[in-house]
Chains A and B, each alone.
Chain A
Amino acid sequence: MIFFEQLGKFFLLLTKVFAKPEKYRIYYKQTLREIESLGINSFGIVVIVSVFVGAVITIQTNYNIENPLLPSYLVGVTVRDSLLLEFSSTMVALILAGKIGSSISSEIGTMRVSEQIDALEIMGVNSASFLILPKIIAAVFFFPILSLLSMFVGIFGGYLICVIADVVPPSDYIYGIQYAFYPHYISYAITKVVFYAFIIVTVSSFHGYYASGGALEVGRSSTKAVVHSSILVLLANLVLTKLILS
């Protein structure tokens, strides 16, 4: 019962969010601000995680296929496909759900419990749209960029470990990452990421927007935001993978 009530509330909030903006110029400014706080500020974590994961997949794949019959460029192929198909979309989204989801929901939740949202409403501002829409736009545009970044950096991480630790000959690795390359893997990843961005921002905003009480509840709502958006990202992954790849 509670589930359906929450679901109803969620979609009601979305209809408020997608109302016509009062003033485009201000929304534009807000969106730029969100691109900075949600997108650009996540560069670091995406780069670090992707470099390491790219390197680790390279080592592990090489370890697993140590068979003279298998050519060593297969390592490059595997690294590329793992990153493109799953890691740089879904895993990066899960990392971002933790970073961005909690920050969105605690920001909006704090505004709720300190009556800042009421203050917006009183002025005649559509608070849901004003606070959430710029975040959605920023994330939907910027998550794909982060995902592409993760692909490049991850593949580079694999190359780096080849050079440093002599896992497979770097030239074989380079050959491998170009071998049997399907460009639609990238569009597949980007499509998924756009959905993930929408899920993470709206679910986290929802939990913040309906926070009540004090600091404790704001903390709880941001935990819920991370958990729920992560689960929904995984569910969406399943559904989208089935839809797109079959």
Chain B
Amino acid sequence: MIEVKNVSKRFGDTIVLDNVSVNFEQGKTNLIIGQSGSGKTVLLKSIVGLHDIDEGEIWFSHRHFNALGFKERKEIRKEIGMLFQGAALFDSSTVEQNVMFPLDMFTDKSYEEKLERVNFCLKRVNIENSNGLFPAELSGGMKKRVGIARAIALNPMYLFCDEPNSGLDPKTGILIDNLIKEITEEYNITTIVNTHDMNSVVEIGDKVIFIYAGAKLWEGTKEEIMHTENKELNDFVFATSLAQKLKKQ
């Protein structure tokens, strides 16, 4: 479980996160939704410590993350897997080396054992026989999937995904969403996913929080979101003309 308590973050004079408090539950896919520029990425990066927060507390399973020193933080980070908005694969390494990297760095396994784990993770994300390819040779969706494989290589307890399906066709998007949900439930991970895709919300949103201009305006389940009274959220959920038509019916 990850607890975020009264977190605020400013860049210069602009307030990007405004007193955000939320609990992300274990074994569930927690979604952060909001329009572009609302602060989703900043929130995610603040939770994992890539941004220093100005106020508030962040707790990973009863460990006060942002009060810890560099060394202790590192221990928690080894329990974290993260998929970045642009996948962030290492350009100069192959798919296999990318996924093997965390294993090289933090385990003492033999090459064969590591390779077995790598192939297992790659198979889990439906990428096979691409071990020797470089990131530049992959499609956008494949990059994201390799990114997920790398994120789960060390059996993380916490999984963060920043827009795992943006820029993908709806079908591949749903595939990746479901993959994340399956992994979350299978290994009882605390998963946080950033998205502005309502498809994902309907598919996998065990718990959804809505960020608007840096503040948390709403939280609930995917069932509740359809009947919300909150105006901003309503505008967001029913932004597409298709959704508006469906709502009128």
**B-contacting residues of A (Cβ < 8 Å)?**
22-23, 26, 110-111, 114-116, 118-119, 121-126
Encode B76-90 as 1/0 by CB contact (under 8 A) with A.
Answer: 011010101110111
CB <8 Å contact, B77 and A122 = yes
- A159 to B75 alpha-carbon distance, docked (Å): 61
CB <8 Å contact, A116 and B88 = yes
Residue of B nearest to A126 (CB): B74
- A163 to B147 alpha-carbon distance, docked (Å): 61
Given A22-B105, A23-B105, A26-B104, A123–B78 Cβ distance below 8 Å? yes
Collect the chain B residues with CB atoms within 8 Å of residue A23's CB: 104-105
Collect the chain A residues with CB atoms within 8 Å of residue B45's CB: 118
Given A23-B105, A26-B105, A125-B105, A119–B82 Cβ distance below 8 Å? yes
Collect the chain B residues with CB atoms within 8 Å of residue A114's CB: 86, 88, 91
The answer to whether the Cβ of B102 comes within 8 Å of any Cβ in the partner chain is yes
CB <8 Å contact, B105 and A118 = no
For residue A181, give the distance in angstroms from its CB to the closest CB of chain B: 44
Collect the chain B residues with CB atoms within 8 Å of residue A110's CB: 91
CB <8 Å contact, A123 and B50 = no
Residue of A nearest to B74 (CB): A124
For this complex, 25 residue pairs linking A to B, each with C-beta atoms less than 8 Å apart, are A22-B105, A110-B91, A111-B90, A111-B91, A114-B86, A114-B88, A115-B84, A115-B88, A116-B89, A116-B90, A116-B91, A118-B45, A119-B82, A119-B84, A121-B50, A121-B77, A122-B48, A122-B77, A122-B80, A122-B82, A123-B77, A123-B102, A123-B105, A124-B77, A124-B106
